[in-house]
Amino acid sequence: MRLRILGCSGGIGGGSHTTAMLLDNDILIDAGTGVGNLSMEELLKIDHIFVTHAHLDHVAFIPFLVDTVGFIRNKPINIYAVQPTLNTLRKHLFNWHVWPDFTNIPNVQTPYMRYEAITLGKVINIDGRKITPLPANHVVPAVGYQLDSGQASLVFTGDTTTNDALWEVVNKIENLKYLIIESAFCEEKREIAIRSKHLCPSLLKEELEKLEQDAEIYITHLKQGEDELTMREILELAEGFNPHMLNKDQLFEF
């Protein structure tokens, strides 16, 4: 499996893009503004989108993607998420007010897009690639994902805060190679992180101390203007874990 980071920032501007990751050439993990970096040829190959949660920085480019390629494709794009997230997308985004309902275009029998409800812990197998929804703790229903090639696994926590349930699962992954985890705020904004159910450096350190597996650790969702400060604080507080900043266009093969 090959994962390409299309966007991993807490916002936009100055070359930054919000969360989107391309698995091989046909699966998106979230669809934030990073999807806009793809060529038309690359967009046409996307058959599946796994959504962590319904916040705009993770779903904003689903409407544009489907609108751009839906009429050219001969099969729908599959949107995977837990049922509450699908309900939000249906009610508040693809509702004919904000954007057309592509599950009914051109008709119900042959739509441009279809929803697929997923369940925590239940593996979705796509051509031998195993994708498992993991527990997340956020202000809206949310999940992370384990991506398992059979040889190794990458875990993406999605947006989350303190989350013992996640580590109970992650510590059982025998082939864990990479962990991508968020830290949206610097230490000065710890209270905002707590209220918004994100992580900051001190909370991140507490979470990483629950990790019992060896893994390369990468930090995502850093806010522009505070990204360097937040990363310095992470390196000071969590030095023993040797965390790295996640970067746009970074590649993971596993």
| Arithmetic mean of pLDDT, 40-61 | 98
Same fold, 1-81+83-117 and 120-247: yes
The structural domains of the chain, with segments of one domain joined by +, span 1-81+83-117, 120-247
pLDDT in tens, 132-191: 999 999 999 999 999 999 999 999 999 999 999 999 999 999 999 999 999 999 999 999
Q: Which residues sit opposite 49 in a β-bridge?
A: 28, 79
Residue 49: pLDDT band (50, 70, 90) is very high
Residue 187: what pLDDT?
97
| Arithmetic mean of pLDDT, 203-207 | 98
User: Looking up tokens 């505070």, which residue turns up?
Assistant: 226
CB 34 within 8 Å of CB 46:
no
Q: Which CATH architecture has domain 120-247?
A: 4-Layer Sandwich (3.60)
User: Looking up tokens 């610097």, which residue turns up?
Assistant: 186
Residue 161: what pLDDT?
98
| Arithmetic mean of pLDDT, 52-63 | 98
Residue 30: what pLDDT?
99
Pairing type for strands 2-7 and 176-182 reads unpaired
pTM: 0.97
Residue 35 phi/psi, 5° resolution? -60, -25
pLDDT in tens, 210-249: 999 999 999 999 998 999 999 999 999 999 999 999 999 9
CA atoms of 146 and 134, how far apart (whole Å): 7
Residue 241: what pLDDT?
97
In CATH, the number for domain 1-81+83-117 is: 3.60.15.10
Pairing type for strands 113-117 and 77-81 reads parallel
CA atoms of 59 and 188, how far apart (whole Å): 28
CA atoms of 65 and 244, how far apart (whole Å): 30
Q: How would DSSP label each residue in 184-253? A: -S-GGGHHHHHHHT---HHHHHHHHTT--S--EEEEE-BPTTTHHHHHHHHHHHSGGG--EE--TT-EEE
Burial of 56 (0-12, 13-18, 19+ CB in 10 A): exposed
Alpha-carbon radius of gyration of the chain: 18
Q: How would DSSP label each residue in 129-174? A: EEEEEEE---SSS-EEEEEE-SS-EEEE--S--S-HHHHHHHTT-T
Q: Which residues contact 128 (CB under 8 A, 6 or more apart)?
A: 150
Q: Which residues contact 67 (CB under 8 A, 6 or more apart)?
A: 99, 100, 102
pLDDT in tens, 79-112: 999 999 999 999 999 999 999 999 999 999 999 9
DSSP one-letter code for 40:
H
Residue 227: what pLDDT?
96
Residue 220: what pLDDT?
98
